[in-house]
């Protein structure tokens, strides 16, 4: 079993790195932002941590691995269904919601594998990103002087 500090480090750094990449994209006026890529980094690290821990205990079989691959592929299509293009080619809505769909699937995989500590840490990090991320994103945007945001009047990136 992975110790709590290792889970926090793996998931936390992945979330932070994804968020910083997303912040860069957002500051450049691209249609993806800090919260979206934070969640993608978190979900990816979550799956690797689950597979890493499961491999040590021989819990994930070849059949389980194929099921997980199928779930993630199918969820990708479902997530694509919530992304909407409006107006100009850079007005995209639903990316954070799509990332949440994918993260929910990853958390479901971790629950199915019975890795409750990893699930709990991922859940807490996800809610920190979702609840506080928008405010942090706006403050960093003002501080770092990114492109003017039309999104700020339209509401949070969803």
Residue at 104 is within a domain: yes
What total of structural domains would you count in the chain?
1
What residues make up the domain containing 112?
A: 4-146
In angstroms, what CA-CA distances link 61 with 67, 108, 113, 119?
Answer: 10, 17, 11, 20
- Domain for residue 153, yes or no? no
pLDDT tens-digit readout, 126-141:
999 999 888 888 888 8
Domain-located, residue 154:
no
7-21, 34-48, 96-110, 143-157: which range is least confident on average?
Answer: 143-157
In a domain, 72, yes or no: yes
State whether residue 84 is helix, strand or coil: strand
In a domain? residue 151: no
Write down the pTM of the prediction: 0.74
Calculate ∠ Cα 149-154-156, nearest 5°. Answer: 80
């Amino acid at each position: 079993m992975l110790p709590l500090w290792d889970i926090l480090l793996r998931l936390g750094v992945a979330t932070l790195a994804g968020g910083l990449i997303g912040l860069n994209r957002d500051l450049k006026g691209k249609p993806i932002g800090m919260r979206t890529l934070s969640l993608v980094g978190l979900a990816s690290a979550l799956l690797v941590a689950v597979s890493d821990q499961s491999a040590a205990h021989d819990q994930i079989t070849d059949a389980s691995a194929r099921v997980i691959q199928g779930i993630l592929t199918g969820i990708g299509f479902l997530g694509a269904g919530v992304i909407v293009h409006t107006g100009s080619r850079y007005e995209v809505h639903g990316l954070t919601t799509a990332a949440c769909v994918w993260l929910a699937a990853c958390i479901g995989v971790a629950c199915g594998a019975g890795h409750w500590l990893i699930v709990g840490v991922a859940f807490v990090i996800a809610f920190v990103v979702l609840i506080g991320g928008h405010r942090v994103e706006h403050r960093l945007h003002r501080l770092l002087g990114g492109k003017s945001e039309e999104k700020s009047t339209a509401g949070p990136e969803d």
